[in-house]
Structure 1
Amino acid sequence: MTALVSRLDTSSGEYGARRAAMLTKIAELEAEHAKAVAGGGPKYVDRHRERGKLLARERIELLVDPDSPFLELSPLAAWGTEFPVGASVVTGIGVIEGVECVVTASDPTVRGGASNPWTLRKTLRAADIALENRLPYVNLVESGGADLPSQKEIFIPGGRVFRDLTRLSAAGVPTIALVFGNSTAGGAYVPGMSDHVVMVRERAKVFLGGPPLVKMATGEESDDESLGGAEMHARTSGLADHLAADEHDALRIGRRIVRRLNRRRPVPSPAVAPPPLYDEDELLGIVPEDLKIPFDPREVIARVVDGSDFDEVKPLYGPSLVTGWAAVHGHPIGILANARGVLFGEEAQKAAQFIQLADQTRTPLVFLQNTTGYMVGRDYEQSGIIKHGAMMINAVSNSTVPHITIVMGASYGAGNYGMCGRAYDPRFLFTWPSAKSAVMGPAQLAGVMSIVGRAAAEARGQEYDEEADAAMRQAVEAQIEAESLAFFLSGRLYDDGVIDPRDTRTVLGLCLSAIGNAPDAGRAGYGVFRM
């Protein structure tokens, strides 16, 4: 029997305290998500509605299949910056006519849908997901173009948006643009470079330069409709493939286009799978508020995988890392989960071998992160921790199966790399509200700076200022603590979203299903090395 047996005492005070702390973080998360959903605020939402237009999320809801899930990505983009939470665009994965698609929708209630630096990063991430997973890419367009005050951060890298559209098409990934309003200047190339274009009559405006710019540049007098209206593009320029009567009609046409794509999954969807034996609600009481306290990731696995069935590999070797086989919603996976935070040489070797085994069987890998990094110290250096860690990182870097990462707790130092952090391009990466990530813990980082400063003062023959040192340590700890929090990291798109732990199984299932649309990348050229 490989079904996990839970030892979690849900009646204990410790469990209750952890659950209460997590619920507080989830309430904060919901408040931040509400800011993104609010868009530009009541004034601009009301003005948009008065014009007879749908909001971005309403357009998505009508586009995707009824009662189907929509996995929104990066909803906290731009959190903690001068720009509104959400970055004036909604992105995610939804099912349209039974086909999983990446959907991007401009939010015109936020500065007219203008693109700021975080809009750009969020949009580029959505295009990467579409390409990696071979998902049709649907753009719901209504944007005034670049946010001009921040153009210096947008103009040069922004060209990737158009490059990505052509590369998607070249790779056989369909691109579809539904234009509901303005799509001006560089934004005109979004429909211009899409495979299928729908424009809404008397609403869509697509031109490289509007009437004022044309007047300044050429002296020509023109109006919106003759210069770039939907009717003109449908009848004269040929840019529009379909002329929609209104927004609802455009969304119907968009669904019809997807239905005619004749998409076929490389691998059929799995059969219905048994749920975990334990209640997902209990995930709230597993992770301690103090991340220095370890927890058993098997308790998480037992509440996420099908039937709580986990076939552990090398359970007695390298016990600080748990490895084994399971399934989520019928999709086979391999799991690597940190048990006691720190990674020793044995754990690194165990991980490297396990990753190679997954590559051999073409099994996607899920990394459950809670790591303080690789172990330091004279004995560990002499025993080869650097080359063992390098072996694990090498395996992660060159593995050719899809990776998904969930950051549950700590994610510090090179442990972030070895456990497939953002720099290692997992297909998807999500974070729990409890998570923290930095080069090292705040106290350790401040302490290192203090030691270095003290040594420098002694080398110069100067007396060390203890009072200034204490103030420095306090300031550094506060800064690192703030910059390591889940919201801060998600705001900078170092993940694909902060999720409620109770949604982990659902999110993993949606990601694994999306991954199933891409063909197998093929194995590397070596057999499995025993470590």
Structure 2
Amino acid sequence: MGVLRSSLDTSSEGYRHNRENQLAVLAQLEEQLALAAAGGGERYTARHRDRGRLPVRERVELLLDPDSPFLELSALAAWGTEFTVGASIVTGIGVVSGVECVVIGHDPTVRGGAMNPYSLKKTLRALEIARVNRLPVVNLVESGGADLPTQADLFVPAGRIFHELTALSAAGVPTVALVFGNSTAGGAYVPGMCDHAVLVDKQAKVFLGGPPLVKMATGEDADDEALGGADMHSRVSGLSDHFAADERDAIRIGRDILSRINWRKRGPAPSPHAAPPRYDPEEILGIVSADTKVPFDPREVLARTVDGSEFDEYKPLYGSSLVTGWADIHGQPVGVLANHRGVLFSEEAKKATEFILLANQTDTPLVFLQNTTGYMVGTSYEQGGIVKDGAKMINAVANSTVPHLTVNMASSFGAGNYGMSGRSYDPRFMFAWPGAKLAVMGATQLAGVLSIVGRASAASSGRPYDEDADRQRTAAIEAQIEAESHAFFVSARLYDDGLIDPRDTRTVLGMSLSATHNTTVEGRRGFGVFRM
């Protein structure tokens, strides 16, 4: 492969301005991540510890292999809503007894770990990742059940949790429940549906109806230990497979379970000779433009991301607004599609289509680095076939079966989001940089379109057009779209799997690739009809 040669001037004013902007955005991200990590805050965390219980993140840390990384997912779920940042649950991918697992842990310092609509979406996304990538699941359970005031948004879709757990078991993917506290009502089915259930003495409470509900339903004055305690389930009901003396004992048992599952990855192993990039990933902060309207060369990012900064570019002189080529990330071969100057023309669409077909022929995972304003519009481009050429690209993306990993670096607008494997096209993982934006189009363009439509409507009906009202409406719409395209807003709604520091892109892609290789990596050989 050829080695990428960087032309980045780290002493330039533009570099310094870009870097300062990225550091400011990252500081805002760190502030929100700290809020998520704080859970219910000092008061409720102290009360939790006073009861002899560990916070959820300490449980996760004890569960994972020492000094191993944890790829947290959806950390900003529920940001900007009435619910706590992080949505009262921690999800991510980590290594337990040498096995890559999806970990799902309730945070009982936030309203007793109750599930709200965002924690439900976050849980379901984690289980989807486990199913698609064939990853065992460890549930760290302590939840009071549903957030009852929002039950209308929870009851029906929450049943999918149990569906996913049973589907994983049917597929031979182990599921484990470590129950540290309440596992009430529908939550009782989590240990009930998992392959392995570990209950902590004097803490675990697993029952369909707690004492208050039993009293209301039957008139019985029930004792919670007799109704759903660890001792009862271990001796009488048989729900518990393992009786744990305390939390640390439960985590030890959970690690022992994972050590005995005889797990084997089905994907190819990485090369043991992966070389780091020749350029410092720290410099990525000065590459990405402070103004998302200003393009930047993704090769500069790749030079600081791929193994040895080596990149075999495909069709470099054709469709140059899209960079395509072959590389390795942490020893795993990948194909890369990266937007350069934003707009996708017919040439870029056809180039991408061919490249995706080639990747599927060779069972090579694809990395999409988004920075696109969408497909080109205009009379000459419509007559030139931009719709059918864009359709080819979207067809190829939709029907590709090799793993897709997507990162929104700066902008992801319009159908370009679809063609570059956005969320609706089921990438195995999708992340974004904290300054990125996602919307149907830019705020100025969207407001302008509505203004033009309004003027045309007034003219066709013979009405005078209110210019003052138009200016006010345009300003309001621009502000709305700017807010709704903000990376925090997008990530809060789980349109990606989390915001990442651009400097960590190589690490995150490497961990994601490793996770996808738990299942077979195989491309599609037959596609649908391509409109020629």
Question: Which residue in 1 is equivalent to 2:391?
Answer: 390
Question: Which residue in 2 is equivalent to 1:270?
Answer: 271
Question: Which residue in 1 is equivalent to 2:509?
Answer: 508
Report matched runs for 1:206-217 at 5 Å: 206-217=206-217
Question: Which residue in 1 is equivalent to 2:500?
Answer: 499
Q: What are the superposed Cα offsets for residues 316-364 of structure 1, whole Å, 9 maximum, x if unpaired?
A: 0000000000000000000000010000000000000000000000000
- The answer to whether the 8 A contact 1:3-1:307 is kept is yes
- The answer to whether the 8 A contact 1:353-1:529 is kept is no
User: 1:391 & 1:528 partners in 2: Cα distance?
Assistant: 9
C-alpha displacement of 1:290 = 1.1
C-alpha displacement of 1:292 = 1.1
Aligned CA distance change for structure 1 residues 447 and 530 (closer, same or farther; 3 Å):
closer
Question: Which residue in 1 is equivalent to 2:20?
Answer: 20
C-alpha displacement of 1:407 = 0.3
User: Secondary structure at the residue paired with 2:482?
Assistant: helix
Question: Which residue in 2 is equivalent to 1:72?
Answer: 72
- The answer to whether the 8 A contact 2:395-2:528 is kept is no
Amino acid aligned to 1:507: V
User: Secondary structure at the residue paired with 1:250?
Assistant: helix
Question: Which residue in 1 is equivalent to 2:418?
Answer: 417
Does residue 412 of structure 2 align to residue 372 of structure 1?
A: no
C-alpha displacement of 1:522 = 4.8
Aligned CA distance change for structure 1 residues 199 and 391 (closer, same or farther; 3 Å):
same
Please report the TM-score for the alignment, with normalisation by the length of structure 2: 0.98
C-alpha displacement of 1:25 = 0.3
User: 1:451 & 1:528 partners in 2: Cα distance?
Assistant: 37
Does residue 121 of structure 2 align to residue 117 of structure 1?
A: no
Question: Which residue in 1 is equivalent to 2:155?
Answer: 155
User: 1:519 & 1:320 partners in 2: Cα distance?
Assistant: 32
User: 1:443 & 1:212 partners in 2: Cα distance?
Assistant: 55
User: 1:242 & 1:160 partners in 2: Cα distance?
Assistant: 26
Question: Which residue in 1 is equivalent to 2:312?
Answer: 311
User: 1:336 & 1:111 partners in 2: Cα distance?
Assistant: 43
Count of aligned positions: 531
Amino acid aligned to 1:164: E
User: 1:441 & 1:527 partners in 2: Cα distance?
Assistant: 32
Q: What are the superposed Cα offsets for residues 232-265 of structure 1, whole Å, 9 maximum, x if unpaired?
A: 0000000000000000000000000000000011
Question: Which residue in 1 is equivalent to 2:449?
Answer: 448
Question: Which residue in 1 is equivalent to 2:5?
Answer: 5
Q: What are the superposed Cα offsets for residues 183-237 of structure 1, whole Å, 9 maximum, x if unpaired?
A: 0000000001000000000100000001111111111121000000000000000
User: 1:286 & 1:230 partners in 2: Cα distance?
Assistant: 55
Question: Which residue in 2 is equivalent to 1:484?
Answer: 485
Question: Which residue in 2 is equivalent to 1:298?
Answer: 299
User: Secondary structure at the residue paired with 1:325?
Assistant: strand
C-alpha displacement of 1:367 = 0.2
Q: What are the superposed Cα offsets for residues 301-320 of structure 1, whole Å, 9 maximum, x if unpaired?
A: 00000000000000000000
- The answer to whether the 8 A contact 1:70-1:92 is kept is yes
Which residues of structure 2 form unaligned runs of 5+?
A: none
User: Secondary structure at the residue paired with 2:333?
Assistant: strand
- The answer to whether the 8 A contact 2:391-2:531 is kept is no
Amino acid aligned to 1:26: L
C-alpha displacement of 1:418 = 0.3
- The answer to whether the 8 A contact 1:287-1:434 is kept is no
Report matched runs for 1:26-41 at 5 Å: 26-41=26-41
Does residue 192 of structure 2 align to residue 184 of structure 1?
A: no
C-alpha displacement of 1:270 = 3.2
- The answer to whether the 8 A contact 1:353-1:528 is kept is no
User: 1:165 & 1:530 partners in 2: Cα distance?
Assistant: 40
User: 1:410 & 1:96 partners in 2: Cα distance?
Assistant: 36
Aligned CA distance change for structure 1 residues 59 and 413 (closer, same or farther; 3 Å):
same
User: 1:434 & 1:156 partners in 2: Cα distance?
Assistant: 35
- The answer to whether the 8 A contact 2:364-2:523 is kept is no
C-alpha displacement of 1:372 = 0.3
Amino acid aligned to 2:255: R
- The answer to whether the 8 A contact 1:162-1:189 is kept is yes
Amino acid aligned to 1:370: N
Higher mean alpha-carbon deviation, 38-47 vs 269-278, is at 269-278
Report matched runs for 1:125-140 at 5 Å: 125-140=125-140
- The answer to whether the 8 A contact 1:422-1:495 is kept is yes
C-alpha displacement of 1:434 = 1.6
- The answer to whether the 8 A contact 1:490-1:496 is kept is yes
Report matched runs for 1:423-462 at 5 Å: 423-462=424-463
Report matched runs for 1:315-354 at 5 Å: 315-354=316-355
- The answer to whether the 8 A contact 1:353-1:530 is kept is no
- The answer to whether the 8 A contact 2:395-2:530 is kept is no
Q: What are the superposed Cα offsets for residues 54-81 of structure 1, whole Å, 9 maximum, x if unpaired?
A: 0001000000000000000000000111
Question: Which residue in 1 is equivalent to 2:202?
Answer: 202
User: 1:293 & 1:322 partners in 2: Cα distance?
Assistant: 17
C-alpha displacement of 1:269 = 4.2
Aligned CA distance change for structure 1 residues 303 and 111 (closer, same or farther; 3 Å):
same
Q: What are the superposed Cα offsets for residues 135-179 of structure 1, whole Å, 9 maximum, x if unpaired?
A: 101100000000001000000101001111100101111110000
User: Secondary structure at the residue paired with 1:254?
Assistant: helix
C-alpha displacement of 1:528 = 13
- The answer to whether the 8 A contact 2:361-2:523 is kept is no
User: 1:521 & 1:137 partners in 2: Cα distance?
Assistant: 23
Question: Which residue in 2 is equivalent to 1:82?
Answer: 82
User: 2:459 & 2:269 partners in 1: Cα distance?
Assistant: 68
Question: Which residue in 2 is equivalent to 1:234?
Answer: 234
C-alpha displacement of 1:524 = 2.6
Does residue 253 of structure 2 align to residue 253 of structure 1?
A: yes
Please report the TM-score for the alignment, with normalisation by the length of structure 1: 0.99
User: Secondary structure at the residue paired with 2:72?
Assistant: strand
Question: Which residue in 2 is equivalent to 1:144?
Answer: 144
- The answer to whether the 8 A contact 2:430-2:496 is kept is yes
Amino acid aligned to 1:195: D
- The answer to whether the 8 A contact 2:307-2:331 is kept is yes
- The answer to whether the 8 A contact 2:103-2:139 is kept is yes
User: 2:523 & 2:10 partners in 1: Cα distance?
Assistant: 44
C-alpha displacement of 1:272 = 3.9
User: 1:85 & 1:528 partners in 2: Cα distance?
Assistant: 44
User: Secondary structure at the residue paired with 1:366?
Assistant: strand
Q: Which contiguous aligned blocks of 4+ residues in structure 1 show a shift greater than 2 angstroms?
A: 267-270, 520-531
Amino acid aligned to 1:298: R
User: 1:17 & 1:526 partners in 2: Cα distance?
Assistant: 45
User: Secondary structure at the residue paired with 2:87?
Assistant: coil
User: Secondary structure at the residue paired with 2:415?
Assistant: helix
C-alpha displacement of 1:477 = 0.2
C-alpha displacement of 1:523 = 2.6
C-alpha displacement of 1:525 = 2.2
Q: What are the superposed Cα offsets for residues 67-100 of structure 1, whole Å, 9 maximum, x if unpaired?
A: 0000000000001111110000000000011100
C-alpha displacement of 1:287 = 1.1
- The answer to whether the 8 A contact 1:15-1:285 is kept is yes
- The answer to whether the 8 A contact 1:357-1:528 is kept is no
User: 2:283 & 2:178 partners in 1: Cα distance?
Assistant: 42
Question: Which residue in 1 is equivalent to 2:244?
Answer: 244
